[in-house]
Amino acid sequence: MSAGESPTIVIPFVSPRAGDPVITSELVADHGLSDDEYERICRIMGRTPTFTELGVFSAMWSEHCGYKNSKRLLQLLPTQAPWVIQGPGENAGVIDVGDGYALAFKIESHNHPSAVEPYQGAATGVGGILRDIFTMGARPIAVLDSLRFGDLDSARVRYLFGGVVSGVGDYGNCVGIPNIGGEVAFDRGYEGNPIVNAMCLGLMKKEDLITASASGVGNTLMVVGARTGRDGIHGATFASEELSEESEEASRPRVQVGDPFTEKLLLEASLELISSGAITGIQDMGAAGITSSASEMAGRAGNGVQIDVARVPVREPDMTPYEILLSESQERMLVVATKGHEHEVHRILEKWELEAEEIGEVTADGRFRVLENDAVIADMPALPLTEGCPTYEREGIEAEEVRQLREMDLTEHLIPNGDLTKAFLLLLASPNVASKRWIYHQYDTTVRTSTAVRPGGASGVVRIRGTKRAIAATTDCNGRFVYLNPRRGAMIAVSEAARNLVCTGAVPTAITNNLNFGNPLKQHIYYQFREAVLGMADACKAFETPVTGGNVSFYNETDGRAIYPTPVIGMVGIIEDLSNITPQSFQSKGDDIVLLGENTAEMGGAEYLYVTAGLVAGEPPRVDLARERQLQRAVLTMIQNNELRSAHDCSEGGLACALAECALGDEEAPFGVKVELDDTLPPVATLFAESQGRIVVSCAPDRTENVIKLAMDHSVPARRIGKVGRRGEAFHVTAIAGQIKIDLVTLSRAYFGALPAIMNTPASSVE
């Protein structure tokens, strides 16, 4: 080549595989690619892609893998802090938690699969998130689940709810990872399109961190674990489609079945592989299977990979390369073994009664090349698969319908329709407020013997064996607030998560998030998305809780109607000393009850409106991030100074419901309550408004002065509102112009009996 001449680019020619369909514009559209995107692919390839190549591009450039419509906004989130070891971009985020330990954590959604097959959809959701954690070299130590369903009066919704809960439970129980918390909400806004998000936390010694990259040219790619079947082919594109009547029928063959037993073996084998030093990288085969794991691993290392699909162990005969590359069969991993150490991988896998097969190698040429025996059937540049997906920023406009709901005048609802005690019982027995025991009694919460606070507390806590430390975690999001005001709603979600951690004695440290939204191509959905991301970014900055990873789930729509925008926040915190762990419920009769924060008449989005009037309306409560931060600092100081016996934040159902939860505890020995509230507000607002920035604490009477003083030092309003009564005494809360008085047995029955009673009525997969 002489100077000035441009280098000749050799475009590898790949002849179409016999039997593969020809590429037509319909086929391109079926793969979820726009004309522009297809042209871009042709430019990248330097020719038209083969059918297999089209499948690979389509999966990698799907919303699920390519983050087309979210990437630009997500870049606005804060991701850095001195304690962040691994930010977004890996299988999971990792933070330093002290004493030489690192914590990996992440949240994932499995909404669409769960809508079609609740049990398997939820189970495989848990399976996927566990793999994301142990492929970082961390041993999973806890799971949380964040769920949303339609109203439980539908037999189909009960079927979905019951199926999801046993799916989440059976999978985690079998693998042996304790569930330490989560959340659930029921609202017609989720009818037909449930939300199933699972979060996992894993612990490792800092030096055991491993990443998912295909480094070391010449190293061997191995697939380990379960065999590849036709499950979930095109799951990644499927996860990015709206649900419709037909999709339920049409997507059946895509259902993936989970095998938690194999997962448990895979977990042990993977951790053993990682500590053996025989491998340089490992990644779960999640959405888009081998395709995404291989190309992402290549992309991260700036290398290429060559894979022979004929060597992939399959479960079914006659699978095409297209199917093998895109299968989403569960419980599989891609491992990069150091050249010459393959036998060690085989030895470890054999011990755990699992298969391992060498399927290819890491190359230097930056190509993603696929062979079928000797024939090349795909040959494409690796980097554009992971980095080349076009990203879009769209215009967002608020829906008129939502604006009207938000601006609705709620004054008439401040006048109670009858007896306050009756309204209160109705609220307490609403599945959104009532005890969630029916759920978490199906989850193993104590396996691994490290759970210090089980589900039912403000946040779950697991101790780190051999240290004085513990990790706390919570998931939070009130979708109604986000629906009515996305920016504020997202801020509330972050604030509430932090508040929940603080109540158990933890310092909020970092978040992962799961952004569940409708179709982003619709302007009003994009508006919700953008506003929510902006709100989250502000709140995360205010609380110094960087985002270390997350997941976006778009197209959560049924027949054109979107769910409430639901940006679930999964937050983790550190408890420096086990003695700081603080319960949520009252501990001792005669203790003073102190309210931190202020009651307001902000009824917007309150559960009270939904229960009494079927309304989701009004401006959600204000949230002042600076004051919220002060409140949380104050409570942490009180806890560290040993001033408190309990702390509980006010959320769904307002102050009255928070007090009831403090009184009831785990049902065994509830305490009476005597509280007097002198707020000059309508009693409905005092008792049931969901104003932000409030925490109910209890303390020994000789500590009350300190508690109030500490609050004042932080400019947090505080006042003693009453006393913890004797066991068996009444629950009595008085507001100006109204009161709630009720015996503990009735209270307990309403709160604990609600969900079991509802779930005792038959469920059905058909309406």
Partner 1 sequence: MRVGVVTFPGSNCDYDLYKAAQQVGADVEFIWHRQKNLDGYDVVMLPGGFSYGDYLRAGAIARISPVMEDIVGFAENGGPVLGICNGFQILCEAGLLPGALIRNVSLRFESRDVHMLVEQTETPFTSEYQKGQILRIPIAHGEGNYEADGQLLEQLEAEGRIVFRYVNRGGEMTEEANPNGSRNSIAGLTNESGNVLGMMPHPERAMEEVLGSVDGMGVFLSLAANLSTVVL
Partner 2 sequence: MNHFRMEILVKPRPGLLDPEGKAIHHALRSLGWTDIHDVRVGKAIYIDLEAEDSVTALETTEAMCRKILANPVTEDFEVSVVGDTERITA
Q: Which is nearer to ligand ADP, 94 or 184 (CB)?
A: 184
Smallest gap from residue 163 Cβ to partner 2 (A): 9
Among 183, 191, 591, 607, binds ligand ADP (CB under 6 A): 183
Smallest gap from residue 652 Cβ to partner 1 (A): 23
Residue by residue, DSSP assigns 576-609 as: S-GGG---SS--STT-EEEEES------TT-HHH
Q: Which is nearer to ligand ADP, 145 or 296 (CB)?
A: 145
**Residue found under tokens 């059976």:** 170
As a whole number of angstroms, the distance between CA 141 and CA 342 comes to 29
DSSP one-letter code for 719: E
Give the HSE-up count for residue 452: Cα atoms under 13 Å, Cβ half-sphere.
23
Q: Which is nearer to partner 1, 170 or 308 (CB)?
A: 170
Q: Nearest CA to 131 among 119, 143, 120?
A: 143
Which of ligand ADP, Mg ion, partner 2, none does residue 439 bind (CB under 5 to 8 Å by kind)?
ligand ADP
Provide φ and ψ at 419, rounded to 5°. Answer: -75, 135
As a whole number of angstroms, the distance between CA 274 and CA 323 comes to 29
Non-local (6+) Cβ contacts of 441 within 8 A are none
User: Applying CB under 6 A, does 651 fall inside the site for ligand ADP?
Assistant: yes
Options 66-74, 174-182, 284-292, 621-629: segment touching ligand ADP (CB under 6 A): 174-182
Structure token pair of residue 513: 């998030």
The dihedral over CA atoms of 611, 616, 622, 626, expressed in degrees to the nearest 10, equals: 90
Among 49, 118, 182, 670, binds ligand ADP (CB under 6 A): 182
What 3-state DSSP class applies to 635? helix
Smallest gap from residue 65 Cβ to partner 2 (A): 23
Q: Which is nearer to partner 1, 248 or 576 (CB)?
A: 576
Q: Count, in order, helices (H) and strands (E) of the chain.
A: 27, 28
Options 342-350, 507-515, 613-621, 649-657: segment touching Mg ion (CB under 5 A): 649-657
Q: Which one of the listed residues 110, 234, 346, 648 is annotated catalytic? A: 110
Cα angle 92, 95, 100 (rounded to 5 degrees) comes to: 125
Give the HSE-up count for residue 116: Cα atoms under 13 Å, Cβ half-sphere.
28
Provide φ and ψ at 335, rounded to 5°. Answer: -125, 140
Smallest gap from residue 709 Cβ to partner 1 (A): 30
Binding residues among 65-104 for partner 1 as defined by CB under 8 A:
none
Please indicate whether residue 110 is annotated as part of the active site.
yes
Give the HSE-up count for residue 258: Cα atoms under 13 Å, Cβ half-sphere.
32
Characterise 395 by phi-psi region: left (phi > 0), alpha (psi -120 to 50), beta (else): beta
User: Applying CB under 6 A, does 494 fall inside the site for ligand ADP?
Assistant: no
Non-local (6+) Cβ contacts of 693 within 8 A are 495, 597, 598, 623, 624, 627, 628, 631
User: Applying CB under 6 A, does 752 fall inside the site for ligand ADP?
Assistant: no
Beta strand ranges found along 364-518 (DSSP E): 367-372, 375-381, 451-453, 460-463, 470-476, 507-516
Which of partner 2, Mg ion, ligand ADP, none does residue 120 bind (CB under 5 to 8 Å by kind)?
partner 2
Q: Which is nearer to partner 1, 214 or 439 (CB)?
A: 439
Contact between 727 and 671 under an 8 Å Cβ cutoff? The reply is: yes
User: Applying CB under 6 A, does 405 fall inside the site for ligand ADP?
Assistant: no
Number of residues near ligand ADP (by CB under 6 A): 18
Q: Which is nearer to partner 1, 167 or 604 (CB)?
A: 167
DSSP one-letter code for 352: T
Say if strands 592-596 and 718-727 run parallel, antiparallel, or are unpaired: antiparallel
Smallest gap from residue 253 Cβ to partner 2 (A): 7
Structure token pair of residue 468: 């004085």
Options 12-20, 384-392, 442-450, 694-702: segment touching partner 1 (CB under 8 A): 442-450
- Cβ neighbours around 715 below 10 Å, total: 11
User: Applying CB under 6 A, does 457 fall inside the site for ligand ADP?
Assistant: yes
User: Applying CB under 8 A, does 122 fall inside the site for partner 1?
Assistant: no
Q: Which is nearer to partner 2, 73 or 122 (CB)?
A: 122
How long, in residues, is the chain?
Answer: 767
User: Applying CB under 8 A, does 399 fall inside the site for partner 1?
Assistant: no
For partner 2, the binding residues (CB under 8 A) are: 116-117, 119-120, 226, 229-231, 252-253, 255-259, 261-262, 315-316, 329-330, 353, 761-762, 764-766
User: Applying CB under 8 A, does 441 fall inside the site for partner 1?
Assistant: yes
Q: What are the residues facing 311 on neighbouring strands?
A: none
Smallest gap from residue 475 Cβ to partner 1 (A): 19
Which of partner 1, ligand ADP, Mg ion, none does residue 183 bind (CB under 5 to 8 Å by kind)?
ligand ADP
Which of Mg ion, partner 2, ligand ADP, none does residue 456 bind (CB under 5 to 8 Å by kind)?
ligand ADP
Options 35-43, 254-262, 627-635, 738-746: segment touching partner 1 (CB under 8 A): 254-262
User: Applying CB under 6 A, does 145 fall inside the site for ligand ADP?
Assistant: yes
Among 176, 277, 340, 560, binds partner 1 (CB under 8 A): 176
Among 298, 439, 473, 750, binds ligand ADP (CB under 6 A): 439
Contact between 553 and 238 under an 8 Å Cβ cutoff? The reply is: no
Provide φ and ψ at 525, rounded to 5°. Answer: -75, -40
User: Applying CB under 6 A, does 476 fall inside the site for ligand ADP?
Assistant: yes
Q: Which is nearer to ligand ADP, 103 or 571 (CB)?
A: 571
The residues binding ligand ADP (CB under 6 A) are 145, 147, 179, 181-184, 436, 439-440, 455-458, 476, 500, 651-652
> Which residues are tagged catalytic?
64, 110
